Structure 1
Amino acid sequence: MTNINVFTLAIVLSTIFGVGSPETALAQSSESNPTPAAVPSESDAKVDEKTDSEKANAAKNWKPLEGSWVVCQFGGDGEVEIKGNSAKIGYGDPLSGIRWEGDVLRENYEIALEARRTEGYDFFCGLTFPVGESKVSLIMGGWGGGILGISNVDDNDASQNATTQFRNFDNDTWYKVRARVTDKAIECWIDGKKLIDQSREGHVFDIRAEMEQCEPLGVAAFQCDSEIRNMRVRRLTAEDLASENQDESDKAASNADTAKKNTAKKNDVKQKESK
């Protein structure tokens, strides 16, 4: 219907039903048939989601680790496929893995990735990363599948030091991994939960000899098939480090308060026993 016909209809309606001026009748006619709102398409939603993800990564200063990965040569390696910042690591006898040959951060940084074991029983993510001029390996699922820890701390590997934990890792399950290195500590999170908080002061760090192909930065798997994706790194900001120092301060205050309460309880018990 053309604009002229609509306006003519409005005049007729105003004459017959007394709805007022033609402009009023036209406005009421338009209100009764509002123009439907535009519905975002699925592609628009995906673009917005991707943009939000990119903004979040940019805010945290994450940079993908891609372009400088090479296949390790352990001897007895399985098939390894590298694509961007992802990799498929095939069953090795005993090890297969990848090594980063680009620039690396050594202090005040975080490295993150996602990993899963698709076949086998042993460690599917042996993440080797720098700690100052030294290095360590975060072992997930070692010693037959149940050990989580850092190798090595004071010459003791992940199965026999203060970081040793017993944890089951299911096959075909993606785990989010993040490791942080500051001048005070080595911290590791899995699926957002901090599981390792190893102080650096007074300790010596290194890797087992078998993992040397991965230094200073790399990922290896032991007698299993695994997949790694979304490998990335970021330098810690002044704000991150300030927050870290505040956490340490709060922890020290909490420990001091606990010690004070325990001492008070002991003194109270002694007084009661002396009466």
Structure 2
Amino acid sequence: MGCRVAANLSVAIFMKKLRLFFGQNAVWLVAVVVAAIGTGCIVLGKQKANPALFNGTDLSGWEITDYAGGGAVAVKDGEIHFAQGELITGIHLAYDKIPRTNFELEAEAMKVDGNDFFCAITFPVGETYATFVPGGWGGTVVGISSIDGLDAAENETATFMKFEKNQWYHFRVRVTGEKIQCFLDDKLVVDLPLADRQIALRPGPIELSVPIGIASFQCISKVRNVKLRTINP
């Protein structure tokens, strides 16, 4: 009841101030604004901006990562196409003004050919970075590299699953100050508390993938719908 009285009082004060500036037109002005908000003509300030990182047309905002022996990267039909390289092929964001915690990063990916990871996602964790690896180490390992110096095949995030070729998979990485969570087709596959853990990238070429990167290893793959949004922890 107290909250309702306070709200009504605030509205009354607001209307009084409007009348001082707009006279009898104040009520009409409020009605127009409310109607505009209801129809979507006015977007409230608290709504979040478009979370898309990939525009579906070209690699604006991205750079092709300079991996030795990397395959070609092209945009076609609203998708990023990775050709098979000698080792790693990938892209990374060309800017670093991004959230470093309290965010979700997602992408859809398809393995066309190959037998290793086809959409490794590198992302910030506070002041450091980690990589979510789907289908690494011969095509079946899913996990985070690296934790306490151990890569995804060696630490407790490792799980094993088979990824079918020519099938789209949805990946989502959620980072807060307390944990890293990773989802595969909305199934939770990594749930890692961060307290007293050392998070870092696996030493080697993947270090070029910061601040946000997507990479494949000796695979032909496709990626689409790459999005980044801030969240409330």
TM-score bucket (shorter structure): 0.7 to 0.9
* Separation (CA, whole Å) in 1 of partners of 2:174 and 2:163: 21
Q: Secondary structure at the match of 1:63?
A: coil
Q: Secondary structure at the match of 2:221?
A: strand
Question: Counterpart amino acid of 2:51?
Answer: K
Flag the 1:199–1:167 CA change in 2: closer, same or farther, 3 A. Answer: same
Give the equivalent residue in structure 1 for 2:153: 159
How large is the Cα RMSD of the aligned pairs?
2.0
Q: Secondary structure at the match of 2:189?
A: strand
Q: Secondary structure at the match of 1:141?
A: strand
Structure ID, larger Rg: 1
Give the equivalent residue in structure 1 for 2:24: none
Q: Which of 44, 56, 70 does residue 77 from structure 1 map onto? A: 70
Q: Which of 118, 132, 139 does residue 133 from structure 2 map onto? A: 139
* Paired residues for 1:29-178 under 5 Å: 63-66=51-54, 67-82=60-75, 86-102=79-95, 103-178=97-172
Higher RCO (CA-CA < 8 Å; seq separation 6+): 2
Residue 85 of structure 1: CA displacement? 7.5
Flag the 1:112–1:85 CA change in 2: closer, same or farther, 3 A. Answer: farther
- Whether contact under 8 Å (1:86, 1:231) holds in the other structure is no
- 1:102-151 superposed Cα distances (whole Å, 9 cap, x missing partner): 22210100001101100111110110000001000000111110100000
Any unmatched runs of 5+ in structure 1?
Answer: 1-57, 242-275
Which 4+ runs in 1 deviate beyond 2 A? 58-62, 82-86
- 1:142-167 superposed Cα distances (whole Å, 9 cap, x missing partner): 11101000000010000000101111
1:194 pairs with 2:188: yes
Flag the 1:134–1:83 CA change in 2: closer, same or farther, 3 A. Answer: farther
Question: Counterpart amino acid of 2:52?
Answer: P
- Whether contact under 8 Å (1:69, 1:82) holds in the other structure is no
Work out the number of aligned pairs and report it.
Answer: 182
Any unmatched runs of 5+ in structure 2?
Answer: 1-45, 55-59
Give the equivalent residue in structure 2 for 1:229: 224
Q: Secondary structure at the match of 2:116?
A: coil
* Separation (CA, whole Å) in 2 of partners of 1:83 and 1:71: 15
Q: Secondary structure at the match of 2:220?
A: strand
Q: Which has the higher helix share?
A: 1
Q: Which has the higher strand share?
A: 2
Residue 82 of structure 1: CA displacement? 3.8
Flag the 1:192–1:62 CA change in 2: closer, same or farther, 3 A. Answer: farther
* Separation (CA, whole Å) in 2 of partners of 1:201 and 1:121: 34
Flag the 1:182–1:62 CA change in 2: closer, same or farther, 3 A. Answer: farther
- 1:194-246 superposed Cα distances (whole Å, 9 cap, x missing partner): 11000110001111122011112100100010111000010003xxx2xxxxx
1:180 pairs with 2:174: yes
Q: TM-score, normalised by structure 2?
A: 0.74
Identical pairs, percent: 35
- Whether contact under 8 Å (1:122, 1:142) holds in the other structure is yes
* Separation (CA, whole Å) in 2 of partners of 1:150 and 1:158: 5
